[in-house]
Structure 1
């Protein structure tokens, strides 16, 4: 039977390493957290510093102006002795630098309020200075009573202190990111350990591809992989049994074919060879005999020819029942039951056939007839039954053939073994069905052959010439 050309296998998308994929995702997540939190901290610090400078600048102007209004030595007009107004605690809290320039003697004075924090890296200080620019700067006049401008004051953030505070926050962010990366490592290690058996799984698959059907999966600790391995081993065992069964069927097919050839050769030699030899001898005698004796030779030739025709019909019927094609399955089964009744009048044979069984596929029709024939023959040969029921039923689940008898031979029943049962099993399984032969209580046997709905519509599911059931 010619099979349609196979279409190329669909291209599968490239796979990915789960461990590497998981590690990269968590690492990327940690980096995004670090970058996002760092950007937020830097932006928040920049806004806070600018707000401090903007709000603190006017207050510093007023405090320095009041300090200048404080009575001092009349000849002391320098800025060297100015306290620059802010208390140390407030100055360290605001982290400001104050620069005062007085017009008197053109003097300047600067003071910062550093805190005790650790120094920040130069890169953090440079980044903060670049981020602030000139926006975080306040400049204003210094007025002395009665409103005379005597200088100006400049308020700027203390970059060293602010960079140290920013560095503390950034270290916290980096610690969180490092914690996420550590969590990534803690996740990666058990995942890698759990997925380590995948190498052995792939090795098992490669062995199976090379034809080693004894290959079995390891039993990983991971529950999901263990279930997959158990399911795979179950399928591998079924495949191994199927392969063994196919080998047995192939060997059985060759054996049955050779047996059938030997049987046909023996039939042709014993029956036709002897008959033809007899016809040849009679023909030779008729040629030499006088006319009065030729009639006896011709009668002998006619009898030999009739015997040959009977043997020919018997052999053809064994090879393939002609009545199936001419009259259908119902008529053939009815004739089969009638023949059995004539040869075994003491046995009652009940026949119950479903409607519309004459338009079944050819392979199914032949199999149903051969199984019925073998079932009746086995029941009558081995069990000496008083009653046999043959039922052929059809429903939504397919076709079911049942042969039940109440016979017993008084010895161990051997109907469950032999070539006949094997042939029936082969026929049923070739069409995707199931076959069973079970004992009945208190006596007798039940033969059941079930065929799926697909066997009723597709006649090419079985071989065109399935192995003949042994008789």
Structure 2
């Protein structure tokens, strides 16, 4: 007898794994990288402005101190009483012209360390307090020029201190920082202008992911959109071509699987006829001969009567076994009376053999006008499910449900048995046979545990499986 087997995919019946979400979003990547780069450049430029301002002020005070000292000496040497050793009357008018340009503050003390004059020559508006505070902390109290104010003939009348005008320096630094911030803002704006067209170009990526999700769920009729970006358009076209080839390959595989199943059923049907016609007739003849020998032995030679009865018993047992084999090869009444009657007979037979188990059969929809290959497959699925449940699970209740509606056909077999403690349940030849039948018809097969115990065999067949093979491939 020809043996056929169709290899099921390794992941058949398992839920599809979700698409991975980890990775780099190009739009966010560009936005964050360029933004961080612009902010880093801006912060570095601001820091450079403060450092350069501090260095400039240090050098400027060192160069300006001697000039201020000469101007103050000239102002003190104006004609006055030579016996008056004081800085009274000193108004720093000699610095009015150059002071605003130098950006300095001058403090004058008399010989008793009393502050006489404290003056900054810049008359601009107040500087930003944070910028002034940063400059003050950066320069510290040591950035200053200290000198002596003397009067002829070499008499000390006071001291002076030249310090940077922090308000003027802060305004100058703030103006340069404003330029830096403007450049940083310009880079950020340019980044946004770059990200917008990239985002529009990659907008079809969401549609592509949606199509991939549909294909992952089994909808191979889904097709990729055609983005404006030429690279994505080529990828989408190539992917659609691969899906079309995969769809054609799967269709050819299902057609071949259906053909193999049809050939196997036809072989079983032929073998059943041969066994019934040849082997059955031989057993019937042996049974008749044994009966004849028993009748003659009873009259003429009673010693042969036990042997004749033994032959009759063995023949009857062989006839019963042959009937069981014929029923397994080709269900009685499946072709003549339809699927509903065959399932009722199948469940009724188990009900008689297993009186301690409750059997429930539910059928909805027109199940008797299904294609022959689908009818046989449904019957085999229920037959194998009942056999596995009652052989291995010792259930107290078994429920069989067959439903045909607008979405296709669904069959479930539930049992509350203990089942077998297997590391990989559903790996037996019976389950593999059911799985290959369902997949050959383009359906989905599942073997699921029930709560608190038991197993469920579920097969869902699409509408396309309800169309005969000759019609669907015409």
Correspondence for 1:102: 110
- State the number of aligned residues: 278
- Structure 2, unmatched stretches of 5+, are 12-16, 287-474
Q: Deviations over 1:365-401 (max 9, x none)?
A: xxxxxxxxxxxxxxxxxxxxxxxxxxxxxxxxxxxxx
Alpha-carbon deviation of 1:14?
2.7
Relative distance call for 1:160 and 1:100 in structure 2 (3 A) is same
Correspondence for 1:391: none
Matches within 5 A, 1:309-388: none
SS, match of residue 100 in structure 1: strand
Q: CA RMSD in A?
A: 4.0
Alpha-carbon deviation of 1:80?
3.0
Q: Which of 227, 232, 249 is residue 256 of structure 2 equivalent to?
A: 249
What TM-score, normalized to structure 2? 0.51
1: CA distance, partners of 2:266 / 2:237? 43
What TM-score, normalized to structure 1? 0.51
Alpha-carbon deviation of 1:186?
1.3
Q: Which of 126, 149, 153 is residue 146 of structure 1 equivalent to?
A: 153
SS, match of residue 85 in structure 1: helix
Alpha-carbon deviation of 1:93?
2.6
Correspondence for 2:454: none
Q: Deviations over 1:8-42 (max 9, x none)?
A: x9x97932333223222222212211211111111
CA contact (8 A) 1:79 1:109 kept: no
CA contact (8 A) 1:119 1:160 kept: yes
CA contact (8 A) 1:99 1:153 kept: yes
Correspondence for 1:24: 32
2: CA distance, partners of 1:147 / 1:50? 30
2: CA distance, partners of 1:207 / 1:108? 88
2: CA distance, partners of 1:73 / 1:25? 73
2: CA distance, partners of 1:48 / 1:79? 33
Correspondence for 2:371: none
Correspondence for 1:80: 89
2: CA distance, partners of 1:234 / 1:73? 109
2: CA distance, partners of 1:170 / 1:72? 49
Correspondence for 2:54: 46
- Structure 1, unmatched stretches of 5+, are 281-471
Q: Deviations over 1:255-277 (max 9, x none)?
A: 4445556677889999x89xx9x
CA contact (8 A) 2:226 2:236 kept: yes
Correspondence for 1:133: 140
Correspondence for 2:228: 221
Q: Deviations over 1:67-90 (max 9, x none)?
A: 2224357698654344353352x3
Alpha-carbon deviation of 1:3?
9.1
Alpha-carbon deviation of 1:5?
8.1
2: CA distance, partners of 1:5 / 1:80? 104
**In the alignment, is residue 186 of structure 1 matched against residue 193 of structure 2?**
yes
Relative distance call for 1:237 and 1:5 in structure 2 (3 A) is closer
Task: Name segments (4+ residues, structure 1) moved above 4 Å.
Answer: 1-6, 72-78, 104-107, 258-270
Say which structure, 1 or 2, has more relative contact order (CA 8 Å, 6+ apart).
2
Matches within 5 A, 1:406-421: none
